[in-house]
C-alpha cells in the first residue's frame, strides 16, 4: 500500500518561505536536484519527498521526519540529522561524509554504495538497513549503535573502492554485524617501516598504567606488507579509543627515539675505538646493522595475547604460554 502520493514539484524559495512562517509538513514534495545546502529544516516532515541529487551539505535536518524519503545520489556532507526518523529512506549512492547521524533511526533504510566517511553514528539505529558497497572509513559507532540484522555483502574501508571487506566473496549472514561489533572494542595502531618491539612493549606497559585498565591487551599483529603493520589492541567497552590511540602513538614515537639515541651513542663509542682511517663503507655498514637491530624481522613475541581475526592478513602468531 502506498503511503505517499506522487511527489509534487516545489520551489526552494517556496519551501524556505513556508518554513519561515512556521509550516513544517512538506510530505511528497519534489525537490530533486535542488540546492538546499546550509538550509534549516529542523523538525520538518519531508516523508515521501524526492530529494534525489539534492545538495543538502551542511543542512540542518535534526529531528526531521523523513520516512521513505528519496536521497539517492544526494550530497549531505556535514549535514545534521541528529534524531531524524528515516524509516525505509533511500540513501543509495548518497554522500554522508562527516554527517552527524547520532541517534537517527535508519530502520530498513537503503544505504547501498553510500559514503559514510567520518560520519557520526553514536546511538544510531541501523537495524535491517542495507549497507552493501558503502564506504566506512573513520565512521564513528559505539556500543549503543544498533547493527542487528544489517544487510551487507561487502563494504570498503578506503576511498575509490579500496580495502574491500571481505577481500573476496561476500559476508555471511550476520558476519558484518559481528565484525563491526568486535571493532567497537578494538584500537588499531598502524606502524610503518617495521616495529621496534622494545619500544612497543614499553609503550604498552605505560599505556596500561596511564589508563589503569587490565583489560587492555594486544590481540594480534597484521602484516600489511612493505614494512607496514597494524597492531590490534583489545579495549574495554566505553573506553576512549581516540585518546588511547593518541597516547600509544605518542609514547611509541618517544620510546623509539630513545632507542635510536641509545643506539647512536653505542655506535659513537664503538667508532671512538676504531682506527681513524676507517673506510666510509664500513661506517655505513655499522650504522645500518645497528639501526636494523631493533626492527621487526617477523619473529614471534612472547607475553602477548594473539587471536586471528577474519579479515586480517599474515598475522604473526603470538605465544601466550609466557603471558603470566
Residue 322, pLDDT > 60, answer no
Residue range 106-120: average pLDDT?
97
Tell me how far apart the alpha carbons of residues 94 and 131 are, in angstroms, rounded to a whole number: 12
In the chain, the percentage of residues whose pLDDT exceeds 70 is 77
Q: Report the number of distinct structural domains present in the chain.
A: 2
C-alpha–C-alpha distance, residues 110 and 87, integer Å? 9
Give the 3-state secondary structure of residue 4: coil
- Cα 94 to Cα 117: distance, rounded to the nearest angstrom: 11
Please check whether residues 105 and 193 belong to one and the same domain.
no
Q: Span 16-37, mean pLDDT?
A: 97
- 174 closest CA partner among 127, 217, 137: 127
% of the chain beyond a pLDDT of 90: 48
Is 203 found in the same domain as 125?
A: no
275 part of a folded domain? yes
223 in the same domain as 171: no
> Mean per-residue pLDDT for 213-219?
78
What are the percentages of helix, strand and coil residues in the chain, rounded to 5?
25, 20, 55
In a domain, 315, yes or no: no
Whether 146 and 8 map to the same domain: the answer is: yes
Mark whether 171 and 261 lie in a shared domain: no
pLDDT of res. 79:
98
Task: For residue 309, tell me if it sits in a domain.
Answer: no
Examine residue 51 and state whether it is found in any structural domain, yes or no: yes
Residue 118: all three cell numbers together: 567520518
pLDDT at 151 over 90: yes
Tell me how far apart the alpha carbons of residues 7 and 227 are, in angstroms, rounded to a whole number. 55
Q: What is the pLDDT of residues 78-89, one digit of tens each?
A: 999 999 999 999
The CATH number linked to 55 is 2.160.20.80
Is position 319 within any domain? Answer: no
- Beta strands at 29-30 and 8-9: parallel, antiparallel or unpaired: parallel
Average pLDDT of the residues of the chain: 82
Q: Which one has a higher pLDDT value, 228 or 66?
A: 66
Q: What angle do CA 300, 305, 306 make, to 5 degrees?
A: 65
Q: Is residue 122 part of a domain?
A: yes
Q: Which residue has the cell 595475547?
A: 305
Indicate if 78 and 193 belong to the same structural domain.
no
Q: Is the pTM of this model over 0.75?
A: no
Higher-confidence residue: 243 or 135? 135
Angle at 287 between CA 283 and CA 292, to 5 degrees: 150
Looking at 159, 184, 209, which one is the last position of a domain? 184
Residue 6 pLDDT: 67
Asked if residues 236 and 211 have their Cβ atoms less than 8 Å apart, the reply is: no
- If asked whether residues 157 and 33 sit together in one domain, one would say yes
**Structural domain ending residue among the three candidates 184, 205, 238:** 184
Q: Which residue has the higher pLDDT, 308 or 12?
A: 12
Residues 42 and 177 in one domain: yes
For the cut 90, the answer to whether the pLDDT of residue 28 exceeds it is: yes
Q: What pLDDT is recorded for position 106? A: 99
State CA 53 to chain mean position distance: 26
Length of the chain: 324
Model confidence pLDDT, tens digit, residues 152-187: 999 998 888 888 999 999 999 999 998 888 777 788
Query: Which residues form the domain of 134?
Result: 1-184
For residues 6 and 149, state if they share a domain.
yes
Interatomic CA distance for residues 102 and 63, integer angstroms? 11
115 and 204 together in one domain: no
Same domain, 36 and 65: yes
214 versus 178: which is more confidently predicted?
Answer: 178
My answer on whether 60 and 162 are in the same domain is yes
Q: Is residue 323 part of a domain?
A: no
Instruction: Band the pLDDT of 120: cuts 50, 70, 90.
Output: very high
Range in 40-49, 100-109, 192-201 the model is least confident about:
192-201
Q: Are 104 and 123 in contact (CB under 8 A)?
A: no
Amino acid at each position: 500500500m502506498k503511503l505517499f502520493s506522487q511527489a509534487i514539484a516545489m520551489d526552494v524559495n517556496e519551501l524556505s518561505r513556508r518554513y519561515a512562517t512556521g509550516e513544517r509538513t512538506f510530505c511528497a514534495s519534489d525537490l530533486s536536484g535542488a540546492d538546499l545546502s546550509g538550509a534549516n529544516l529542523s523538525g520538518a516532515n519531508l516523508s515521501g519527498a524526492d530529494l534525489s541529487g539534492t545538495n543538502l551539505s551542511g543542512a540542518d535536518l535534526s529531528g526531521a521526519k523523513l520516512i521513505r524519503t528519496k536521497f539517492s545520489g544526494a550530497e549531505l556532507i556535514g549535514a545534521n540529522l541528529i534524531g531524524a526518523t528515516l524509516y525505509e529512506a533511500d540513501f543509495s549512492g548518497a554522500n554522508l561524509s562527516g554527517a552527524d547521524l547520532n541517534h537517527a533511526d535508519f530502520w530498513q533504510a537503503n544505504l547501498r554504495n553510500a559514503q559514510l566517511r567520518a560520519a557520526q553514528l553514536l546511538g544510531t539505529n541501523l537495524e535491517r538497513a542495507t549497507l552493501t558497497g558503502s564506504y566506512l572509513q573513520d565512521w564513528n559507532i559505539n556500543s549503543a549503535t544498533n547493527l542487528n540484522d544489517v544487510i551487507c555483502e561487502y563494504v570498503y574501508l578506503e576511498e575509490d573502492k579500496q580495502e574491500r571487506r571481505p577481500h573476496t566473496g561476500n559476508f555471511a549472514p550476520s558476519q558484518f554485524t559481528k565484525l563491526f561489533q568486535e571493532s567497537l572494542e578494538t584500537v588499531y595502531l598502524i606502524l610503518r617501516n617495521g616495529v621496534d618491539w622494545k619500544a612497543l612493549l614499553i609503550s604498552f606497559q605505560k599505556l596500561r598504567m596511564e589508563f589503569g585498565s587490565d583489560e587492555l591487551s594486544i590481540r594480534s599483529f597484521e602484516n600489511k606488507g612493505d614494512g607496514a603493520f597494524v597492531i590490534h589492541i583489545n579495549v574495554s567497552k566505553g573506553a576512549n579509543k581516540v585518546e588511547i590511540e593518541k597516547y600509544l602513538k605518542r609514547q611509541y614515537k618517544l620510546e623509539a627515539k630513545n632507542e635510536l639515541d641509545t643506539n647512536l651513542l653505542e655506535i659513537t663509542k664503538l667508532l671512538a675505538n676504531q682506527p681513524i682511517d676507517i673506510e666510509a663503507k664500513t661506517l655505513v655498514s655499522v650504522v645500518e646493522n645497528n639501526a636494523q637491530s631493533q626492527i621487526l624481522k617477523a619473529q614471534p613475541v612472547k607475553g602477548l595475547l594473539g587471536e586471528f581475526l577474519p579479515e586480517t592478513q599474515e598475522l604473526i602468531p603470538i605465544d601466550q604460554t609466557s603471558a603470566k
